[in-house]
Amino acid sequence: MKKQILSVVLGSLVSSMAAAAQWGYEGAEGPSHWAEMSSEFDTCATGKNQSPINLTHMVKGDLPALKINYVKGGQQIVNNGHTVQVNYTPGSSLEVDGHKYELKQFHFHTPSENNIEGESFPMEAHFVHADKDGNLAVVAVMFKIGDFNPELEKAWSQMPVIAGDQQQLKHVVSAANLLPQDHNYMRFNGSLTTPPCTEGVSWFVMKGYDTASKEQIEHFAHTMHHNNNRPLQAMNARVVVQ
């Protein structure tokens, strides 16, 4: 199952998941219907630790530092119809509390999927990692409208406008340059925010944020033709630690 989930994370919707259901963000294909489309998507409705959430009522804890070792590795940009994703070459890692994950890809949602104290943001980036056993960790970074983002533009300048298209990037993108300087974070247990909504994902939401120009955020939104954020999910018995 973890190999199947990793295939979804990497953007290659393989096996029965692709054939079973063409999910989306609107109408009969939207989030409220995901669980109806395939038995493999049941967790989208039955799960108790679903993402995204509104991060609020945080509990103070002694969180370990995030050891982020990202090298330039964003070499391919893909429009998979659900998001724009930059695939990363091996060699970049996230280590937390002695546990090491490899950066696989990063992608975007507009508006943000997670909220912080009830605040939604114009755009959110998800840096998706997997360990050697297929366990997943996501670093989430909120984007505000502000200064033009030159690192983001390396990808945006070749953004495929047609679902299914991909491009080899002329200028390799550095994920490190898309992170805020302050690596303080909030942590919670959650899930994939897209089908099959698998749980057991470790989420690390940065307290700091990055910026992009209004035009850059609109470029992404227009390419998607619709919002691509899953609605907020119930917290249930979870806590957010900061």
Task: State how far the Cα of 68 lies from the Cα of 77, in Å rounded to an integer.
Answer: 22
Q: Which among 54, 104, 99 is positioned nearest to 76, based on CA atoms?
A: 104
Q: Which of 91, 90, 92, 106 is nearest to 10 (CA)?
A: 106
Active-site residue, from 82, 107, 126, 219: 82
- 132 Ramachandran zone, left/alpha/beta (phi>0; psi -120 to 50): alpha
What is the three-class DSSP state of 20? helix
Among residues 72, 92, 110, 84, which one has the least CA distance to residue 11?
Answer: 84
The position carrying tokens 């295939």 is: 7
Question: What phi and psi values does residue 5 have, to the nearest 5 degrees?
Answer: -65, -40
Q: CA dihedral in degrees (12, 156, 69, 124; nearest 10)?
A: -80
- Residue 45, SS3? helix
Number of Cβ within 10 Å of residue 140's Cβ equals 24
Compute the distance between CA of residue 29 and CA of residue 144 in angstroms, rounded to an integer.
Answer: 29
Q: Distance between CA 74 and CA 97 in Å, rounded?
A: 26
Decide if 82 is catalytic.
yes
Catalytic residues: 82
